[in-house]
Amino acid sequence: MEHKMTFDSIWEQEERQSLQQRLRQDYPTWLRRRRQRRTALASIAVLAVAGLSIFNFQSSTSKDYDYVACNRSGIAEGHWAKVASNILTIETL
Amino acid sequence: MKRLLFILLLPLAFLSCSREVEEVPLYRQYAARQDLTVAQVKGFQLCDTVKTDVVILVADDSAAWASLKEEFDIRTSEGVTSWMGNIEQPAQRVKRSMRPAWRAMAVHDERTIAFYRIDTEEQREALLDYQMNNLENNK
């Protein structure tokens, strides 16, 4: 029994030392990978925000109006800008 | 990381929610009418630097058009009738120099009245230029 306990404790100690050694070796790698993962995720988020902002900016600058409100649904916004433009092309002067 | 994403995405969420439509009183006044299709074009571009707001009333049938004509004191029955209207009561005619005002154009064939808001001299000139340029291009 005493022998078994000794064997167990030695085994446990070895296992602990082995684990500690592995940790010492792997921890910097793990830290580096974690940093890389976080940087990659942050870059993706920044790119997504920048991309959407550029898209929003382009869509707002390519239109000849800011926005349209209508009391009826199903009519395209662009239709009303066209009506506003067309009426000005009718000869009235 | 979550905090970083939150900080980055918060302005985006704000931008997408901030496009709340600001309705002008003229639009609100007619939007509830069942016999009219009413639209408001905010920031209609007259030229590179000048924008204005436009309110468009379209009568759905001849009865609605007759009613609109009466409300806005339009006495002709063909072509285009235009006038400068009081900013609060667009049916009321005002002097061309009055600011702010609506430049109203009623198109009989289309049963449509369009109101172009004029607050500044730049807007008035840009509106005139827009008409003139388009007329020249259409010739």
- Give me the percent of chain A exceeding a pLDDT of 70: 84
**B95 falls within a domain:** yes
Beta carbons of B54 and B40 less than 8 angstroms apart: yes
pLDDT above 70: residue B14: no
| ipTM tops 0.85 | no
**A93 reaches B (C-beta below 8 A):** yes
Nearest CA-CA partner of B105 in B72, B130, B60: B72
Cα Rg, chain B, nearest whole Å:
19
Tell me whether residues B1 and A41 touch, CB distance under 8 A: yes
CB-CB under 8 Å, A42 with B4: yes
Q: Domain ranges in chain A?
A: 2-62, 65-93
Domain that holds residue B125: 22-138
Identify whether B9 is part of a domain: no
Do the domain assignments include residue B119? yes
What average pLDDT does the structure give for chain B?
Answer: 87
**Which chain B residues are Cβ-neighbours of A38 within 8 angstroms?**
1
Out of A69, A71, A87, name the one closest to residue B105 (CB). A87
Of A46, A56, A65, the CB nearest to B45: A65
Question: For chain B, what is the domain count?
Answer: 1
